[in-house]
A and B are shown apart, each in its own frame.
Chain A
Amino acid sequence: MDGRSAMKAPALTAARAGLVACEACHLLSRPAGAGESGFCSRCGEKLEVRRHGSIATTWALLISAAICYIPANLLPVLDTTTPQGTEGDTILGGVAFLYTSGSWPLALMVLIASVMIPLGKLVSLAYLLLSVQRGSVKSGRERTRLYRLVVIIGRWSMLDVFVDTFTVALVQLQPLMSVAPGQGVLFFAAVVVLTMLAAESFDPRLIWDCVDTREPAHG
């Protein structure tokens, strides 16, 4: 099957052919019943034509993540105690510290991983959800690419959690200086985990279902 013939003919998807593909081992099989697809006879994974409650679950996780994003940025992630007193550092404060101490490449890296990636994920997933709910047929390929990008780079926003963990683990030099994790760390970790789960619960095939039903002849 070459690319052109597939684009011209009405797209034959597994769902349209009455088949369900296993998400773990990719085996194609016929659903066991009308409502329930049953389990994969090869690997035992639960079969679903489309991920169950994909849009509602993704929205729920995404909104929770957006709420956590606010305290994650406002509350300090590290509390540094010296004989002069205790000082809190937010994520942006940490970026500023790296920048002023002369390591701007690292400052940029932390800025991208901790601020831009989580924000980008929230915006991208919201856009994907809205485009599917509005039944958009445009740029399916680009939207699928965007989804894959969200899945691949999502893990890098854990960076700041690890930075804080190892700073805390090493700088325990009482009474000279000690560093404790702040309340912001928990919220920030929650943003990362919730957006990763949101990306996993979103079903990219929904993007193409709109394309297939609206424009069967042009793909």
Chain B
Amino acid sequence: MDARLSADAVACPDCDLLQRIPALAPGGRAACVRCARSLAKQPSGPRDLPLALTVAAAIMLIVCNTLPLMELHVVGRFASTTIAGGAYEMWLQGQRITSVLVAFCAVIAPVGYVSFMLVLLIAVRLPSVPPWAGEMLRWVGHLQVWSMLEVVMLGILVALVKIAELATVDPGIGMYAFGAVILLMPAIAVNVDRREIWRRVVWMDAAR
């Protein structure tokens, strides 16, 4: 059976309409003619940009998960926390399910997303892209949904404003690294050409 019907034909994921994606100029986008869902976009940056951004995000992610995000001073007392530290405190306070959820959305999903992306983008440089790279790209899509760093950041800011009345709070180095990761994550998503990776990956069936 020839499953490869036409290389540029797609069904819109939201309305199932069959259509052809025209050749796109760098920075160009294609949207579904019926429901306006974005179907494809052609990244305009240099070829190595996604890998460079992902390496930067990996470094910043390590920094913001190891160094304290903020320090709190009140009448001679001192407290500080990391992202994982926040989830751990919830665990200690008996809210275990919530703690696991916070750890997943704030640490595990973003770290998984960036590390899978890193391996994936290195694998794409091989002359033939192995099928497990496709498997990883699938996982990247699932992890992206649950990686909520930008929401975590806003949550921390609101918590700081609440606490600011009773204590002095100083941002730590981790906070700046955190800000950098939040800017880098969408930049990676925009610049990785998923269609190109799928086009080049060795099919699962061929590998068996």
A→B interface (CB under 8 Å): 1-3, 6-7, 11-15, 17, 19, 21, 23-30, 39-45, 94, 97-98, 101, 103, 106, 109-110, 140-141, 144-145, 147-148, 155-156, 158-173, 176-177, 180-181, 185-186, 189, 193, 196, 200, 204-205, 207-209, 219
Contacts and interface: CB of A to CB of B under 8 A. Distances in A.
B74 A176 contact: yes
**Interface size band for B:** 35 or more
Contacts, number: 227
Nearest to A180: B93
A109 B158 contact: yes
A103 B135 contact: no
Contacts of B79: 170-173
A42 B198 contact: yes
Nearest to A174: B77
A205 B14 contact: yes
A165 B154 CA distance: 12
| A30, A159, A165, A189 interface centre (most CB from chain B within 10 Å) | A165
8 contacts: A43-B138, A98-B158, A159-B154, A163-B162, A167-B159, A170-B72, A170-B163, A208-B15
Interface of B: 1, 3, 5-6, 9-11, 13-20, 33-37, 70, 72, 74-75, 77, 79, 81, 85-90, 93-95, 97-99, 101-102, 105-106, 131, 134-135, 137-138, 141, 145, 148, 151-152, 154-163, 165-167, 169, 198, 201, 203-205
Contacts of A208: 15-17, 34-35
B97 A3 contact: no
B19 A6 contact: yes
Contacts of B88: 169
Given A28-B9, A144-B35, A166 B159 contact: yes
Given A28-B18, A186-B97, 10 more contacts: A1-B33, A21-B13, A24-B138, A28-B11, A43-B137, A156-B151, A165-B99, A167-B163, A181-B98, A205-B14
Contacts of B148: 155, 158, 162
B201 A42 contact: yes
Given A144-B35, A181-B90, A219-B34, A17 B155 contact: no
Contacts of B161: 98, 101, 103, 106
| A2, A103, A144, A147 interface centre (most CB from chain B within 10 Å) | A144
